[in-house]
Each structure stands twice: as C-alpha cells, then as structure tokens.
Structure 1
Amino acid sequence: MSTSKQAPKGKQAEAARPEDERLPVGTSFAYGLQHVLTMYGGIIAVPLIIGKAAGLDGAGVSVLIASCLFVGGLATILQSFGVPFFGSQLPLVQGVSFAGVATMTSILAGGEGLPEVFGAVLVASAIGLIVAPGFALIVKFFPPVVTGTVITTIGLSLMPVAAGWAMGGNAEAPDYGSGRNILIAVGTLAIVLILSRIPVAAISRLSILLAIVVGTVVCLIFGWADFSQVLDRGVFAFPEPFAFGMPTFSAAAIISMFIVIIVTFAETTADIIAVGEIVKTKVDSKRISNGLRADMLSSAVSPIFNSFTQSAFAQNVGLVAITGVKSRFVVTAGGVILVVLGLLPVMGGVVAAIPSPVLGGAGIVLFGTVAASGIRTLSKVEYEGNLNMILVAVSLAFGIIPVVQPDFYNSFPSWVGIILHSGISSATLMAVLLNLVFNHIGVRSKDRTERSVFVAGTGRVIRRDELERLINHEALLAEGDTVKDGKIVDCNGEEVPVVSEQQHEKVVEAIKSGEAQTQDDVRRVIKETED
C-alpha cells in the first residue's frame, strides 16, 4: 500500500479507515489552522448577531465570541476524535449553527434576554440528545426539497442583519445609514469579490476574512474604528459559566428551538454522509447516531459556557474535498486551536471592535452563500410530475413573511409569535407539512402524474380506460388540451399517447426517475414496453 507524502512510513498502513491516518503533529496543526480560518467568519458571525440583538456592549459581545470559539473547539474534538456513543469520528468541524439565529433573535424580541435563549437551547438540546438515535426513522421526511428550502430561508432571513450592519449597526447612532457607512460596506464587499478572483487558493478561500482585515485597517487609519477596549478583559480568561445570568425557561421558546434542533439533525446528517463519500469510508446509521449525539451533547452543554446550538460546518466539508486531507486528527488539531482562541478574550475583543459596516459588506457574501447553498440543494430536487414547486414556493413565502413584515403575527398569542416570528421555524413547519401531504400521506405512484396547474410539465400519457371519460367530459382535460378526431391533443399540438395500465406504470416510473422528460422520451418508453 502506498503511503501519503505527509505521513511517516507505516502510519497509513496501520489505519483501518482513511480518516484514521495520522500525520505528523506539525502538519496536522497546519492543516487544522486552515480549517479554523475557513470557518472563522461563520463561527464569529452568530455571536455578533445575537450579541448586538441582545443590546450587549463590546465587552459582552467579546464574551460571547470567546465562548463560542471555546465550545466550538470542544465540540469539534468530540465529533472528530470521538468517545463511545458520541462522535462520528469523521473530519467534521463543529461550531455555532446559523439555523438558530432567526429563532434566537425572535426570543430576544420577546424581552426576556439571553437567559431565555440559553434556557431554550439547553432544554431543546437535551430533548434532542434523547431522540437523536431515532432521527433515522424520520429522516425520509427531510428530503432535499425540505432541507434546501430551509437553508435558503436561513440565508435570506439573515440579509436584514447584513443590511443593518452595513448602515452602521446601531439604529440610534446619528450616522446610521450614512453614505460613509454604506461606502465602507460596499468597499469591503468589493475587496471580497476581488480577492475571490485571485488564482491563489490560500487567498481566494480566505477572501472574507482578509477583506474584513483590510476594511478594518482602512477604518483604523481614518479614525472610524475604536480598539481602546480590546484589552479590558485581559489576554487570558476561562469562559465564566452563566456569565449573563442563570437560564430561564419558556415553553414556546423551547418548542421553537426544538424545531431548530430538528433542522440541525438534517444538516448534520447530510454533512456526515457527504464527508463519508468524500473520504470514501463507510457511514451507517450507528455512525450517524453517534454524530448526532455529539451535536446534542455539545449543544446542551454550550449554554453553561454562554454559547448556542452546535452543528457541522458545511464549508469545511468542502475543504476536505478540495485539499484531499482526510485525517480526522487534523480536524481534532483544529478543535484544539479553537479552544485556545476561546481562552484568549483579546481575540473576541478584536472581533467585537470591527466596525459594523465592514461586517455588513462581508455579511452580504457570507449570508448570501448560505442562501446559495440552499438553492444548490433545491437544484437537485425533481419538479416534474409532482407538487414540489408549490411546496417550495409556499414554504419560502412563509419563511420570508416574518422578515419583510415583522408585525405579521402581533395579533396572535405570544407563544405563536415566538414560534412563527422565526422565518426558519415557519419555513420548516410548512415544508415538512406540505411534504407529508404532497409526497407521503395517501400518495400512490400513479397519483404523481395527475395534472395540476402547479405541476411542472413533462411527457404525458393517458390510459385507455380514461380516454372515453376525458372525451365525454372535456372539463376534466388538462389546461390547454383539446379533442380532435377522437384524440387528445395537448397545448403544444402534440397527440397525447394512449397506453395500457402496464405501459402507464412504466411511463410513471421513467418520469419519476428522470429518464422521461419530454414527449419523445415517453414515446421511447412506450415502444420499449411494446418490444
């Protein structure tokens, strides 16, 4: 067996699985640092959003950032290194999940502050830890049409946050929405785009982080940034448990957060399967269950140290594919780096002092990438001969309503508002419900080709036993159909083939599998059944 160039001789041969390869310590930490830099912008974005939504000052935001780095590091070590029953033992980097942002800001809008957020995360994650092994039984209810819709909603619902940052972050400030702030945001965005085009992988992959650095330095030169309080909390400090007070508990907040946990289950399961395919290793239900347990244990512990729900970072799954470095111990080294950064509050202080407009420019790309990820997932969905199009349309609409009209649910009971004010909760509930109704409950295979104004067009056929009924009752014809010389002609002027029951089933199967997408494809399938 050939050995990796980075690994000492014999080390790879000893590994039973590709992900168990051990690289030299220095190499592992170098690759681990690359993982940290890849996800750093994402892991600090959530505490920044929540901290500002909670009205915290720079010191408070610094505490949240340091805590999220610390817990994210511990969660990464647990997930990648693993212990019995906890951890998928795959190269997966963990961090604060974007999925809970909209829900947590909705809870904060209720006026109870961070203690209620932490209480909801703690209880919902504990419940998630109990039900995690059973998620495999309901994973079929979270196909790409559901997860893609939810991820797209997450990205779109975060856009107002990016816009608020671009305008200055503080709506009470006299320069909020000023031309200067907008120009800083646009300049930062331009730097991200320029750096993304540079044909040097190390630069293009870190374009967001580098753009934030450049934008901050420019602001510092012109006196638009204040780093005077960076050292207020010292250089080294262990995260203080319950730094913002003991958690409080609200049933509505817990229910809303549990919906986020279900979404996190779907995301992490997808990431485990994806990284398993990249690494070319076996991923079974036991491994998925262990990964989900690690997620939930980390999420349940995180509120103690002032952090939020944890999940796998998809961008790091992409990094594994790009670099070809499959060792889980590389990611474990990255987790150690995150823990060390979490013990350095000065790092959180630096991030908290970054001017909001700079974050706004980077946030447009960062949050837009989340939405684009969802759109990419939706592009894999089959829309022919089913109602997936209307499922996506209605679910996205429900997810965006609280974003464009925050007062929409004000006349409802407060518990309804807490759940549905979150775009992610609204979109998830609607997507799962419609998926059940359209694709599971009482659906027979032949039902999927029945015509509807919302069903995307494809090749069509008509069973012989239906032909006479359709001719005699033209109101039953699909839109645009006509009867000509005893035959059915569709809106394109093509005759709709008349087939037997057996041929009809074959055509339906071909349409569902994507083999038949045009009328010519349908005729080919019919001919094959005749042969």
Structure 2
Amino acid sequence: MIRISRSRKAATGDRHPVDRHPVDEVLPAGPLFVYGLQHVMSMYAGVIAVPLIVGGALGLPFAELAYLLTAALLVSGLATLLQTLGVWRIGSRLPIVQGTSFAAVASMLAIGTGAGGGNAGLTAIFGAVLVAGVIGFLLAPLFNRLLHFFPPVVTGSVITVIGVSLLPVAVKWAGGGAGAPDFGAPAHIGLAGLTLLIILLIYRFLPGFFGRIAILAGLALGTLAAWPMGMTDFSEVGQAAWFAVSTPFHFGVPTFGVAAIISMTLVMLVIMTETTADILAIGEVVGRPADGRTVVGGLRADCLATAVSGGLLNAFPCSAFAQNVGLVAITGVKSRFVVACSGAILVALGLVPKFGAVIASVPLGVLGGAGLALFATVAASGIRALSRVDYEGNANLVIVAVSIGMGVVPIAVPGFYHEFPAWFQTIFDSGISAAAVTAVLLNILFNVVGRTATEGPVFAEAPPPGVTPSHDVPGGVDAEERHPTPRKNSH
C-alpha cells in the first residue's frame, strides 16, 4: 500500500514525490532564479568572448559587434532550454549549460578572413556552421555505439583535463585579462584573491542556501569592492539598447565553400567529443550516469542548436560549458530546471542588451577569483572519478598518465603543433579533445584488443581482454572478476 501511495503522489504531481531524482526537482521560484542567475554569471564571459574575438578580427563596426553578442546570448539560452528540458529525443535532460564553443575560433577566423572579412566573412562562417551542425546531428547516434569506449579510466582522465584546461582562462582573468596593459597588476590579482576568499568563507561558515550561492555572492561582493577602486565600469550600460531581436540572415544569406565545410565538420566532431565528455561528467556529478540515449540526445541538441544558429540566428557553434559542471559540483544543486532557468535568463539578456551590459561590467579580476574555484572543482571531479578505477595488474595507470600528459601539452605550450597539418591542429590544439582521443585509443589498445596473457612486469596479472572497470562496484571491477571461479575460457 505504501508503494502504491508513493506512486500516486508522483503521478498526481506532488511537489516532493519520494522517488523524484534531484535532477528532476523543481525548486521554488526564488531559489530557482538565484541559482539560475549564478550559472549565467559564471559563464557569461565565455559566451561573449567568441563573438568579440571573431567580430573584432573580421573588422565589424561597434553596432554590428553588439548585434553579434546579443545573437550569441539568445542562441545560448535557446540551446540550454533545449538541452535541459528536451523535445522528443533531443536533449540530455541534464543540468548542462550551452554556449558558444572556443574550439571553433581558429577555424572560423581562417574561414572569415579567407572570405575577405566583414559580412562576407561572417556569411561564409555561418554556411560552414550550418552544414557542420546538420552533419553532426545525423552522426549523433553513432556515439551511442561508441559509449562503451568511455569507461571511468577514460572519462576520469578527460574530466580532469577539462578542469586543467580551463584554469589558464581563470588565471588570465585574475591578472586583468590577456593583453591588458596592466596585466598582472596587484590590484587585479588582489581583487581575484578577495573574491576567492569571500567564496571560501561563505562556503565554510554559511552552509545551506548561502553556501549554494557562494559563487554568485562572491561575484556580487567582489564587484562592489572593485567599485570604489575605479575598477568597475558601468558606462556602457547606459549606451546599451533596451530591446533587440536577432533577425534571420541579418548579415546576409549563408554562403557555402567545400574547404570551409570540411574544416568546420572536423571542428564539430571535436565539439561532439568534448560535449560527450561533459555529459558523462555531469552524469557522474548528479548521480545519474549518462547512458547511450542520454548522450545521443545531448549531442542532437548540441548539433541542432549549432545548425540553427549558423543558418538563421547569426551565431556560432554551441557546446556544453564545462565550467558549469564545476558549479553543479561545488553547490550541490542538481536540478535541471535551475539550468533551464539560466537558459531563460540568457534569452532575456539576448533580447534586452541593457541587462546583459550590467553582467558584462563584472571586473575580470572578480571573474578570475570565482573561476579558480569553479574550474579546479571540475578537475577535482575527474580525480574523484579516477579514484574508482582499478590499477592493480593492468595498464590503467599508463592510460591515465599518457592521456593527461597529452591533454596538458597544448595547455602548457600553446602553438606546440603549429607546424603540423591543419586537421591535426584542429584535434590536438584542444587539450580536451587530445586527452579524449588518447585515452580512448589507449583503452582500446590495452583493455580491449591489445592484451595478452603476459604483458611484462608493469602489466602482469591483468584481467582478460575486453574487461573495463565497472561503474557500480567500488574499485572498478566486479567481485567475480577479482576472484573468478574456475571456468572454461569462453573466448
């Protein structure tokens, strides 16, 4: 009778059904908005950075550059809503924030400048983005078949590199922004340190609701502290418009070039690899491990948003934002409806540029202090996943070591592969995709097809070929695999 009662409560829409997963919890309006705003403030700079870089390189005037920024915010919000709420089999229905992808910047700059810059350069980029998004959407189901190549030894390595790859961004923010004339000034670094200290103190001494909004509170208090120091500039808020809508084909009808499409399709495959890693990471963080259907749905949302953004809404490729995975981990707020609320806020910012200008006024030093906490949390989540991997009598330690090493190469020495072919640079200039490709290939080599009965002292006593660590059993392998009963070899 009790089970029937609980089931009925869930079916009749009770606000707190017993069997509801935290991912599907709908919070009251107040906390829902505050937590959603926290997600927006932690990733806002990342959304506007790509259109600023591309638009500036193509020589767009200020008005057109501002238009490009609002389009990026609008598309990010719509993509986030699609990803979190889902339509049919599109969307992961996990707390994942979507935004413009940094992975495509180099290729977009090459395409845009090659087409002559300005509006002609943008239409060439949008055409390549449209086709690449459609191709990615059609290829998404293939990732379901590849999911078994992502055991914890692979995902843990990639998640760790995701966090490590984001840390230089936070450090540059903490110094005042890369290229700033006063980069590294004590005022910027001190502001970052103050913001980080505020976050830590709130997290330590104000548990519960305030602990969950520690990042938002740190950003707000850090900005207030910067105001009397003259480090906060709200002048552009007055110049921003109250309302603007991104209309289709504002910069012209997309144009299509074979080389541009091939280049952007390769980038799209890299973005899909990164998004797969982020979906698997958030699944571990919220306690709902992502299965094949979840990954495919997430990739479809990613690619559909990319195709629409390039084909209609004057924006660039979309991708899951890893920094928001860290925010979910550090706050413990797992509801996908919180992230859906952040998507609605992004849409509003895309329609009301004046509100967006307020958030854009947060000093980079403040963002740097918050970013250090957020991004390092992502790396810590990867380390936690790696702690569940079994390292006894197998090559998992080598897989982790080499994968993280390959992922750190482009982070530590940008431009390391500048003499290599363009397709190679597209993959390995991203630490995330470099780590993912390396980890998957090494796992196949050592744990799937490359195993023999005796592999030498480092790999001695390894489990049989094809055995990968289990998600459910502490230590990474099943008890039967640890202490097998005598049986005939079925292989």
How many residues are aligned here?
A: 451
Instruction: Could you tell me which runs of 5 or more consecutive residues in structure 1 were left unpaired when the two chains were aligned.
Output: 462-509
Structure 1 counterpart of 2:315: 306
Q: CA distance change for structure 1 residues 72 and 111 in 2, over 3 Å: closer, same or farther?
A: closer
What is the TM-score normalised by the length of structure 1? 0.71
**What code does the residue aligned with 1:258 have?**
L
Please, what is the CA RMSD of the aligned residues?
4.3
Once residues 196 and 406 of structure 2 are traced to their aligned partners in structure 1, the CA distance between those partners, rounded to angstroms, is: 29
2:191–2:222 contact (8 Å) kept in structure 1: yes
Aligned mate of 1:95, from 77, 98, 111: 98
Quote the offset at 1:341 in angstroms: 3.4
Once residues 415 and 210 of structure 2 are traced to their aligned partners in structure 1, the CA distance between those partners, rounded to angstroms, is: 43
Once residues 21 and 202 of structure 1 are traced to their aligned partners in structure 2, the CA distance between those partners, rounded to angstroms, is: 17
Q: What pairs up with 1:139-218 in 2 under 5 angstroms?
A: 139-173=147-181, 175-218=182-225
Aligned mate of 1:363, from 371, 376, 381: 371
**What code does the residue aligned with 2:90 have?**
F
Instruction: Could you tell me which runs of 5 or more consecutive residues in structure 2 were left unpaired when the two chains were aligned.
Output: 114-120, 463-473, 487-491
SS at match of 2:136: helix
Q: CA distance change for structure 1 residues 196 and 361 in 2, over 3 Å: closer, same or farther?
A: same
Q: Is 1:255 paired with 2:219?
A: no
Q: Is 1:391 paired with 2:393?
A: no
Quote the offset at 1:130 in angstroms: 0.6
SS at match of 1:96: strand
Q: What pairs up with 1:27-176 in 2 under 5 angstroms?
A: 29-51=29-51, 53-54=53-54, 56=56, 66-88=70-92, 90=93, 92-96=95-99, 100-101=101-102, 103-107=103-107, 112=112, 115=122, 121-173=129-181, 175-176=182-183
2:232–2:363 contact (8 Å) kept in structure 1: yes
Quote the offset at 1:12 in angstroms: 3.5
1:154–1:424 contact (8 Å) kept in structure 2: yes
Structure 1 counterpart of 2:408: 400
2:104–2:317 contact (8 Å) kept in structure 1: no
1:342-392 superposed Cα distances (whole Å, 9 cap, x missing partner)? 322123212222222222222212221222222222222222221111111
2:35–2:213 contact (8 Å) kept in structure 1: no
Once residues 476 and 340 of structure 2 are traced to their aligned partners in structure 1, the CA distance between those partners, rounded to angstroms, is: 42
Q: What pairs up with 1:3-42 in 2 under 5 angstroms?
A: 10-12=12-14, 18=20, 29-42=29-42
Once residues 21 and 39 of structure 1 are traced to their aligned partners in structure 2, the CA distance between those partners, rounded to angstroms, is: 16
SS at match of 1:197: helix
Once residues 61 and 363 of structure 1 are traced to their aligned partners in structure 2, the CA distance between those partners, rounded to angstroms, is: 26
Q: Is 1:513 paired with 2:477?
A: yes
Q: Is 1:435 paired with 2:443?
A: yes
Quote the offset at 1:33 in angstroms: 1.7
Quote the offset at 1:223 in angstroms: 1.5
**What code does the residue aligned with 1:96 have?**
G
Quote the offset at 1:234 in angstroms: 0.9
Quote the offset at 1:512 in angstroms: 7.4
Quote the offset at 1:228 in angstroms: 0.6
Structure 2 counterpart of 1:475: none
Quote the offset at 1:37 in angstroms: 2.9
2:145–2:292 contact (8 Å) kept in structure 1: no
2:330–2:377 contact (8 Å) kept in structure 1: no
SS at match of 1:221: coil
1:402–1:421 contact (8 Å) kept in structure 2: yes
Structure 2 counterpart of 1:378: 386
**What code does the residue aligned with 2:41 have?**
G
1:11–1:21 contact (8 Å) kept in structure 2: no
What is the TM-score normalised by the length of structure 2? 0.76
Q: CA distance change for structure 1 residues 183 and 36 in 2, over 3 Å: closer, same or farther?
A: same
Q: CA distance change for structure 1 residues 22 and 86 in 2, over 3 Å: closer, same or farther?
A: closer
Once residues 231 and 259 of structure 1 are traced to their aligned partners in structure 2, the CA distance between those partners, rounded to angstroms, is: 39
Once residues 288 and 415 of structure 1 are traced to their aligned partners in structure 2, the CA distance between those partners, rounded to angstroms, is: 25
Once residues 426 and 137 of structure 1 are traced to their aligned partners in structure 2, the CA distance between those partners, rounded to angstroms, is: 21
Q: CA distance change for structure 1 residues 329 and 230 in 2, over 3 Å: closer, same or farther?
A: closer
Once residues 368 and 20 of structure 1 are traced to their aligned partners in structure 2, the CA distance between those partners, rounded to angstroms, is: 24
1:29–1:334 contact (8 Å) kept in structure 2: no
1:95-122 superposed Cα distances (whole Å, 9 cap, x missing partner)? 227xx43x23544675847948766654
**What code does the residue aligned with 2:99 have?**
V
Structure 2 counterpart of 1:498: none
Quote the offset at 1:68 in angstroms: 4.5
Identity over aligned pairs, percent = 36
1:12-46 superposed Cα distances (whole Å, 9 cap, x missing partner)? 49x9x94799999xx65445324413422343142
Q: CA distance change for structure 1 residues 20 and 409 in 2, over 3 Å: closer, same or farther?
A: closer
